[in-house]
Amino acid sequence: MNSRQLCLSILGLVLSASVWADHPTHLDHLLRQVEDSQQRDAKVRQQREQTFLSARANQKQLLEKVRAQLKQERQRSKQLKKTFEANEVQLTELEAELKERTGEFGEVFGTVRQVSKDVAEIIRDSLVSAHYPERAQWFRTLGDSKKLPDITELERLWLLIQQEIAESGRVVRFNSTVIDTDGVAAKQEVIRVGLFNALQGERYLRYLPQSHRFVVLARQPSSSDQNSAAELDQAQEGYVELALDPTRGVLLGLLVDTPNTTERLHQGGLVGYVILALGAFGLILVGYRLIYLSGMEKRIQRQLSNLSQPSDDNPLGRILAVSQENRNADPKHLELLIDEAILRETPRLTRAEGLVKLLAGVAPLLGLLGTVVGMIITFQSISLFGTGDPKLMANGISQALVTTALGLIVAIPLLFLHTLVTSRSRILVQILDEQSAGLVAMSREQS
């Protein structure tokens, strides 16, 4: 190595030393970061400490304030307790003074309240309340009042009771809301007959106390009662005969649930329809037979008045024709021919009598069948729903009773009609027997 290279090496070492002196190592940099972090944490801790000390002072102030309020409330509670005790004593003294002053009037005022409550229920359902709807509320208010009623309230109580008594004997016309059977409500003139009935024209009404309205009954009374109501609607003075409901509408309301004759027949069900059909068929058959026998009787009577000229339109004429055709025959042979002719004519006269008798016997048996079916339906209802509601069993019981009644209603007339038809046919057969015996006797005399 020459001197020049040695100088260059020394210069490089010097330059590298100066570079390392200007740029610190990684450890120095980490040390400075740790020192900076400690300084920042110290500042944060100092700030938190100051905040805690400030909040502690505030909490102490709040605690002192709450303690002061608690002390005030305790003092107020003691004062209120003393006031309450004083009021209790004063209330006891006032009650004693009130009892002393009222004396026997306390029982009177109690009676007034009780009467007001009782009368309020009567007034609420009264027809007069439809004209004066505010009365019932006043009675309820008086009955629920805790203060002593004054003389004005006592007088009004007496006047309203007196008004109810007076209105019970009056017939009044006034306008009120009437709900028709189609559900349409309209203002109409209503006639109130005392406390019993309300009418609109010829129709009877039912009063609704909750809404102070009237409803037209879905099913009206008989036509005669409706005609009487129409006469009352047209009358201006005098007396009119009118049917009244003493239960104040209860009986008229039950008309809706009372079935008419057609509905009763429908309650019989299928068995009831069969009984009615058999009864109608039996009546038609009996009517036809009676007409036929009446016509035959007239023809036989006409033939009796002219035995010499037999006619072919009646049994007697045909028997006489057999006798004339065989007048020369032996009496025994003629008797046989006449008996044969009578045997041919008898079924025509006694036709359908057995069928009518059968219908009269089957009708009550079908009624018994309907009774059994109805009881089965009733027991099914009991097994499903129990016996709590009798209406659930009414359908089966109605069918049982209606079918029994229908069977008897059909059987009894058919028995009488069967007897009538049988007697009419026997009379005609007896006439034929008598005339045939006469013909045989005449033939024997001639022989």
| pLDDT bracket for residue 392 (50, 70, 90) | low
Contact by Cβ (8 Å): 378, 397: yes
- Decide if pLDDT at 124 tops 60: yes
Is residue 18 predicted with pLDDT exceeding 70? no
User: What was the pLDDT predicted at 6?
Assistant: 53
Strands 213-216 and 171-179, bridge-based pairing: parallel
* 277-296 as b/e: b if 16+ CB within 10 A: ebbeebbebbeebeebbeeb
Q: Give the residue with greater pLDDT, 433 vs 363.
A: 363
Of the candidates 302, 408, 326, the one whose C-alpha atom is nearest the C-alpha of residue 360 is 408
Q: What single-letter amino acid sits at 235?
A: A
The pLDDT of residue 397 is 80
Q: In the prediction, which pLDDT does 13 show?
A: 46
Indicate if the pLDDT at residue 14 is higher than 50. no
CB atoms within 10 A of CB 171: 14
Asked if the model's pLDDT at residue 290 lies above 70, the reply is yes
**47 vs 422, more confident:** 422
389 confidence band (pLDDT: 50, 70, 90): low
Closest by CA position to 403, among listed 273, 259, 257: 273
Is the predicted pLDDT of residue 362 greater than 90, yes or no? yes
CB neighbours of residue 147 within 10 Å: 7
Q: What is the mean pLDDT of residues 144-160?
A: 80
Q: What is the mean pLDDT of residues 115-127?
A: 82
Residue 274 pLDDT: 93
Confidence of residue 286 (pLDDT cuts 50, 70, 90): very high
Integer Cα distance of 58 and 45 in angstroms: 20
| Amino acid present at 195 | L
**Could you write out the DSSP letters of every residue in 227-272?**
HHHHHHHH--SS-------TTTTHHHHHTTTS--HHHHHHHTHHHH
DSSP three-state, residue 214? strand
Q: What is the residue whose two structure tokens read 């004759």?
A: 261
Average pLDDT over residues 107-125: 80
Query: How much is the pLDDT for 19?
Result: 41
pLDDT band for position 144 (cuts 50, 70, 90): confident
Is residue 421 predicted with pLDDT exceeding 90? yes
Cα–Cα dist 254/248, whole Å: 12
Q: Is the pTM of this model over 0.85?
A: no
- The predicted structure's pLDDT at residue 24: 47
Where helices occur in 103-216 by DSSP H, the ranges are 105-125, 135-144, 151-167
Q: How many residues does this entry show for the chain?
A: 447
Q: Residue 419 — pLDDT band, cuts 50, 70, 90? A: very high
15-24, 66-75, 278-287: least confidently modelled range: 15-24
Condensed to tens digits (0 to 9), the pLDDT of residues 320-355 reads: 888 888 777 777 887 888 888 888 888 888 888 899
Q: Which residue bears the tokens 């009894």?
A: 412
pLDDT band at 280 (very low <50, low <70, confident <90, very high): very high
- Give the pLDDT confidence score for residue 287 in this predicted structure: 94
CA distance 272 to 400: 10
How far is residue 196's CA from residue 67's CA, in Å, rounded to a whole number? 75
Rounded mean pLDDT of the chain? 81
Separation between Cα atoms, residue 280 and residue 33, nearest integer Å:
124
User: Residue 275 pLDDT more than 90?
Assistant: yes
For residues 235-246, give the mean pLDDT.
80
Question: Average of pLDDT values for 219-247?
Answer: 81
How far is C-alpha 10 from the geometric centre of its chain's CA atoms? 127
Q: How confident is the model at residue 191 (pLDDT cuts 50, 70, 90)?
A: confident
